[in-house]
Chain A
Amino acid sequence: MIRDHFRVLVMDLAAGRGRVERHDGRETVAGGSGLAAWLFGHYGRPASPWNDPAQPLIFAIGPLTGAFPLMSKTVCAFKSPYHDQYAESHAGGRSALALRMADLDALVVTGRAPRLSCLALGGHHLELRDVHFLAGKPVDEVGKVLRRMLGGAGHRSMLRIGPAGESGAAMAGITVDTYRHFGRLGAGAVMGAKNLKAIVVEGDRAFPLPAGKDYPKLFERVHHQLTRTDMMHKYHDLGTAANLETLNGLQSLPWRNLRQTADAAIDGVSGRRFADDTLLRNAACAGCPVGCIHVGFLREKFMEPNQYLYRQVSYDYEPIFATGTMLGVVEAPAVLGIMDTVEQMGLDVMSAGVALAWATEAVEKGLIDLAQTLVPLQFGQAAAYRQAVEHLGRGTNDFYRLLAQGALKAAAHYGGGDFACVLGQEMAGYATGEVFFTAQALGLRHSHLDSGGYSFDQKHAAYTTAEALDFLVADEGGRVLLTSMAACLFARGVYTPTLLAECLEVLGARGLAAGLADVARRVQALRWRQRLATGFDPHAVTIPERFREVTTWKGPLDGERLDALMAGYAARILELGRPEQDAPV
């Protein structure tokens, strides 16, 4: 059931041909994050720039993909246009199961297509199609056209970029099956640089499962644990949007470019408000019975008399923070409207919202004006933000092209670096304190999901620096094991290392099951080695002044504690990622 090697399709876009390669290493790196880092070591060019056509764009799944619930994520790895270093981004939708059903453990895309193209593949086909007519088209229109052009409805995954990916925005994401994204660190621009508008994977094969009752029984136990207990209730109910009210109550929700951490206007954009006023339905990634995707309904009058259109926009905590509280927009429908424009442009929503928050304050401070922004940016003015998002996605002028490379890049030119809310990349919505700021600023993905720093901040009023660093390193290791399987991290409370070993064993991967602790350590080290090899210097990362001005439920931020955490975590990262010959594993 789980093969002892990896079956990898390597597609050369320049040649228009692919080859299926076999890679050993199943018991060494498992899959997912481990496989992606392993493949980057094989195909990546650490010293060449991110947009060198030879650089690989990697999509990897894990040994448990499709075989157990919530094993539904794909890991995308690439050299990032944001910092020109190794990067990972994760997404679900149908992408993971489609790759699994196409009999692939990974897809590696290299080269640059001669014309704007769509890569279509499955268990029985592989072709590169000319789609030059989709140049500049927004994400939804691309989906509609490709659905007509290609078969496999319902059993395929469609990865596509919008204008932002084509314009080289370092905050361009890849949209997966309408509602999910490889959002962060610019994977969309990597596709754009490869002249690749879309990848469509059809999962059209079938695979024998182990005979006997052990596997179905274990599956059923896990399924019921995920659906009949309260463990996943939060994600199924209000979804991650429930966090808005919680974090606002803890003075940890960024508002108006992080000048506040709480505001009485929270009622307009709380998870409850979104559910009551906009929730149309839930949706799920393939292989996940939880259904955490919350699709909001936006009705807009576009003409008199009484001519309306409607949009369906998926929302979560992070998009609401980025296009709502961070921009001072406090009405749920207006927030959905901004999110929808972000979706159509193919931008990463967190990066876009936080960058526009910086631009708004830069306008207030007189560093930029209408000559740059083209529309009057003002906190709370949703209509202008929707236009600004389009400018950002399309790279309308020098200002927006620079801003799309990151708020700090724009600040280096226009000033205002002290209030750019950047922690490695534009911040995630957790102004929880010193540990989270350190975790995102230095985390491998610069993601709130690298480790539970936000949770540590909320649970610990008093702690030593060493305790926090031990937590970050250990928690990252646990998460890396899950993303090597490749699980949705929402299931981290269910899939303990013991259960993961049981799942692997019942599918016949006894060696891998027995060595999970070593796999976690090895993959954690391997990922950091790739990051360091591409130029990352953790000691060079700085935290903008704005973060030091934050007040949370614990009081004003402790600058000395933050400095100690940053220095300590940087040292730990260098230790984790030291060259293999010097490493203990």
Chain B
Amino acid sequence: MKVLTTPRMERCIGCYACSLACARLVHGQLSWLTAGIRIRSSGGLSTGFEARTCLACLPAPCAAACPTGAFAQRKGGGVRVQKDLCIRCGDCAAACPVEAVYLDNQGQPYVCIHCGRCVGFCPHDCLEWSDPGERAPGAAAGKGAA
């Protein structure tokens, strides 16, 4: 199972194309926040950017914490999400060790589902969507490396 990783965030220019693509394509929204990948500067623009996204835990503590099965373990890491089962308790977000789950002001959780749709929108090849077992050594250099 392929998972999304962010191996080259030092290349990030802060355009938010990935985050906006996730909100647009996965959640049908225009937002910086209701997305499975969220970009933020780490102490001002001069210090670069970091991506808040699911690190594909196996087992996933958010899935274990979910009392209704809305978050269930995804094969290969991460979670499968069934929105209609969610009671908006927020336990998933509390259980996540890396703040990858965003709760909107109605308590609706947003998390990366490792679909890879954001990857093609990154102009600097910061992101990767691949099977962990197939990831080549040196992948951190990425496409276009000099």
Chain A residues in the interface with B (C-beta under 8 A): 1, 66-67, 69, 97, 100-101, 124, 143-144, 147, 153-155, 177-179, 203-209, 211, 215-216, 219, 223, 227, 281-291, 293, 295, 312
**Given A147-B43, A207-B30, do A283 and B14 touch, yes or no (CB 8 Å)?**
yes
Query: How far does the alpha carbon of A518 sit from the alpha carbon of B140 in the complex, in Å?
Result: 51
17 contacts between A and B (CB under 8 A): A69-B17, A97-B16, A143-B44, A147-B44, A153-B42, A178-B44, A206-B23, A209-B29, A216-B25, A283-B14, A283-B45, A284-B13, A284-B14, A287-B20, A290-B15, A291-B123, A291-B124
Say yes or no: is B99 at the interface (Cβ < 8 Å to chain A): no
**Contacts known (A291-B15, A291-B123); A211 close to B28, Cβ less than 8 A:** yes
The answer to whether A207 touches B123 (Cβ under 8 A) is no
* A206-B15 in contact (CB<8A): no
Report if A287-B15 is in contact (Cβ < 8 Å); known contacts: A101-B32, A124-B105, A219-B24: yes
Give the docked Cα–Cα distance between A285 and B105 (Å). 27
B121 on the A face (CB < 8 A): yes
Residue pair B40, A286 in contact (C-beta under 8 Å): no
Instruction: Give the chain A neighbours of B41 by CB distance below 8 A.
Output: 153-154
Chain A residues within 8 Å of B16, by CB: 97, 286-287
Roughly how many angstroms separate A97 CA and B20 CA in the complex, as a whole number?
11
Q: Once bound together, how far apart are the Cα atoms of A17 and B59, in whole Å? A: 50
Q: A67-B30, A284-B13 are in contact. Are A289 and B121 (CB under 8 A)?
A: yes
- B98 CB → nearest A CB, Å: 15
A11 to chain B minimum Cβ distance, whole angstroms, is 23
B114 contacts the other chain (CB 8 A): no
Question: Once the chains are docked, how many angstroms separate the CA of A288 from the CA of B13?
Answer: 9
Do the beta carbons of A206 and B14 come within 8 Å of each other? no
Given known contacts A124-B105, A286-B16, A312 and B24 CB-to-CB distance under 8 angstroms? no
Residues of A with C-beta under 8 A to B20: 66, 287
Which residues of chain B (38-82) have a CB below 8 Å from chain A?
38-46, 49
User: A208 touches which one: B28, B49, B124 (CB < 8 A)?
Assistant: B28
B31 touches A101 (CB 8 A): yes
Task: Tell me how far the C-beta of B15 lies from the nearest C-beta in chain A, rounded to whole angstroms.
Answer: 4
A-B interface, 5 closest residue pairs, ranked by CB to CB distance from nearest: A154-B40, A206-B31, A284-B15, A291-B13, A289-B123
Chain B interface residue count, CB cutoff 8 Å, equals: 33
Known: A153-B40, A287-B20. 16 other contacts (CB 8 A): A66-B30, A97-B16, A97-B32, A100-B30, A101-B32, A153-B42, A155-B33, A204-B32, A206-B34, A207-B30, A209-B30, A215-B24, A216-B24, A219-B24, A281-B13, A289-B123
The residues of B that contact A284 with a CB separation of less than 8 Å are 13-15
Question: B104 interface residue, CB < 8 Å from A?
Answer: yes
Instruction: Say yes or no: A206 contacts B45, CB within 8 Å.
Output: no
What does DSSP make chain B's interface, helix, strand, loop or mixed? loop
Query: For A144, what are the chain B residues with a Cβ–Cβ distance below 8 Å?
Result: 44
The answer for the CA separation of A69 and B28 in the assembled complex, in Å, is: 17
- Cβ contacts under 8 Å, A287 to chain B: 15-17, 20
A203 CB contact (under 8 Å) in B28, B32, B124: B32
A155 to B35, CA, bound (A): 13
Query: Residue of B at shortest CB range from A236?
Result: B123
Q: How far is the CA of A143 from the CA of B47 in the complex (A)?
A: 13
Which chain B residues border A124 with CB–CB below 8 Å?
105
| B17 contacts A204, C-beta separation under 8 Å | no
A147, A205, A206, A291: residue with the most chain B Cβ atoms closer than 10 Å: A206
Q: What's the Cα separation between A277 and B121 when bound, in Å?
A: 30
Query: B121 to A206, Cβ gap below 8 A?
Result: no
CA gap between A153 and B31 in the complex, in Å: 15
Query: Which chain B positions have C-beta within 8 A of A203?
Result: 32
Q: A288 and B39: CB pair below 8 A?
A: no
